[in-house]
Amino acid sequence: MLDRVTPEQIETYRTQGFVVIEDFLSPQELAQWRDTADQAVQRRLRAISDGMASGTVKKTLGDRFRAPAKAMLGQKTVETARSVLRKILGSKRIPIGFNGTLNSNQGNPESYYAKVYTQVIHLAKEDPRLGELIFNERLGKIASALSGASGMRLYHDQALFKQAYGNPTAWHLDNPYWAFHSDRAMTMWVALDDATLTNGCICYIPGSHKQASHTKNLSIGDNFAGLLKMYPDWMKIDPVSCPCRAGSVVFHNGMTAHGAGVNITNKPRRAYAVAFMPDGSTFNGIKDVLPDEYFKSLKVGDLLNNEKVHPLLWRDSGNQTPNKTATATPEPVAV
C-alpha cells in the first residue's frame, strides 16, 4: 500500500474535491482485499437469506407495503406519495431500500436500489481479516493529510458491488447522510475490479464540495439527476469520470457530488468504500447507520469517540489506538 501522498495529490483533492491514486494497493494486497470482501459479502448475504426464510429478519416498512399499496392505489399514486415523502424527509434519509437491521440493501433484491449495487456495511468489525486491512493507521494518516484533519476515525465501511447490468448510482453527497457534519469528512473508494466507463466507474462534479449544502441532498434512488436539479449551476460543469485499474483508490470529500454509471457489462464491478470521520466530530442527530443502542445514548453535540463504534485510526499526536495494524512505521506523509 502506498504510504504517502504528494503535495499535488493534496492540492487536487482540496480544489477538485476528489483525487485518484492509481495502484494504491500492491497486487498481493488487492487479492487480499478482493477475496476477504467477497467472502464477507457472501457470508452476510447467506445470513440474510437464511434469516428471511426463517422469518427472523423483517423487511423494511417500504418493502412490506409497496406491493399491496400499488395494488390498491396504483403505481402513479404510490410514486407521487414517495416523492412527497422524499421532499419532507430530504437529506435525513438513508438510501431507499437500505435496511438497518440487515446492514444491507438486499432485503428486497427486486427493488431498484438493490440493483444499483449490492451494499453490505460494517464488515470490518465482523471479519477480522477485513478488519486488519481497514483498521490501519496508514489509511488514517493519508486521509488526514488529504483532508487537513488532525486525526481520523472510521465512520463506516461497506462493500459496493455493482452487479452485471446494475442500475446507475444517482448523483448524491455522502456527508449529509451521516451522523456528523464536517467539511473534512471523506470516503475512500477502493476499486476491486478495473473500474471502466462501461461497468460504472465513479464520477464527480469537480469543485462541487465548495458549494454543497448539508441540507440539500437526495437519496440514491431511481432519480439519477435529481440532485442536479437542486444545484442547477452544477449542470454547467463537465463531470469527470474516473476509470481506474483494480487496486487503485479514489478519495472524495464527503460534500463532493458523485455518482456512477450503469454497468452495461456481464461482470460485476466490485468496490469497497471506507468512510472517514475527522477526530473530534460531534453528533448531529441523524441516526444513519449508528447501532440502535449507541444512537439512543447520544445527545446532539456529543463527541463521537466511542472506540468500538468509531475506532481512531490515526491522530497527529502519535497516539495510535490498539486497532493499529500496520507492522512497519509508515514513512511521513508529504504535506
Tell me: does residue 258 bind ligand AKG (CB under 6 A).
yes
Tell me: does residue 202 bind ligand AKG (CB under 6 A).
yes
Whether the CA torsion 35, 40, 46, 48 is positive or negative: it is negative
Tell me: does residue 248 bind ligand AKG (CB under 6 A).
no
Q: How far is the CB of 241 from ligand AKG (least distance, A)?
A: 12
Among positions 72-111, residues that touch ligand AKG (CB under 6 A) are none
Q: How far is the CB of 297 from ligand AKG (least distance, A)?
A: 27
Q: How far is the CB of 160 from ligand AKG (least distance, A)?
A: 4
Tell me: does residue 187 bind ligand AKG (CB under 6 A).
yes
Closest CB to ligand AKG among residues 102, 220: 220
Closest CB to ligand AKG among residues 160, 289: 160
Among positions 269-328, residues that touch ligand AKG (CB under 6 A) are 271, 273
- Rounded to the nearest 10 degrees, the angle between the axes of helix 137-147 and helix 7-16 is 60
Closest CB to ligand AKG among residues 133, 298: 133
Tell me: does residue 260 bind ligand AKG (CB under 6 A).
yes
Q: How far is the CB of 188 from ligand AKG (least distance, A)?
A: 8
Residues 150-169 as x/- pattern, contact with ligand AKG by CB under 6 A: ----------x-x------x
Radius of gyration (C-alpha) of the chain in whole angstroms: 19
Angle at 282 between CA 278 and CA 287, to 5 degrees: 105
Closest CB to ligand AKG among residues 115, 153: 115
Q: What is the 3-state secondary structure (H, E, C) of 64-122?
A: HHHHHHHHHHCHHHHHHHHHHHHHHHHHHCCCCCCECCCCECCCCCCCCHHHCCEEEEC
Position among 137, 157, 174, 288 found at the interface with ligand AKG (CB under 6 A): 174
Tell me: does residue 244 bind ligand AKG (CB under 6 A).
no
Position among 24, 113, 117, 283 found at the interface with ligand AKG (CB under 6 A): 117
Contact 3, 330 (CB under 8 A): yes
Whether the CA torsion 34, 16, 257, 134 is positive or negative: it is positive
User: Minimal CA–CA distance to 173: which of 186, 160, 162, 161?
Assistant: 186
Q: How far apart are the C-alpha atoms of 48 and 45, rounded to whole Å?
A: 5
Q: How far is the CB of 166 from ligand AKG (least distance, A)?
A: 8
DSSP letter for each residue of 29-57: HHHHHHHHHHHHHHHHHHHHHHHHHHT-S
Contact 333, 4 (CB under 8 A): yes
Contact 155, 161 (CB under 8 A): no
Q: Which three cell numbers stand for residue 159?
A: 462493500
User: Minimal CA–CA distance to 273: which of 178, 151, 181, 198?
Assistant: 178
Closest CB to ligand AKG among residues 255, 326: 255
Position among 155, 189, 283, 314 found at the interface with ligand AKG (CB under 6 A): 189
* Binding residues for ligand AKG, total number by CB under 6 A: 13
Q: How far apart are the C-alpha atoms of 67 and 75, rounded to whole Å?
A: 9
Tell me: does residue 242 bind ligand AKG (CB under 6 A).
no
Q: How far is the CB of 258 from ligand AKG (least distance, A)?
A: 6
Residues making contact with ligand AKG (CB under 6 A): 117, 160, 162, 169, 174, 187, 189, 200, 202, 258, 260, 271, 273
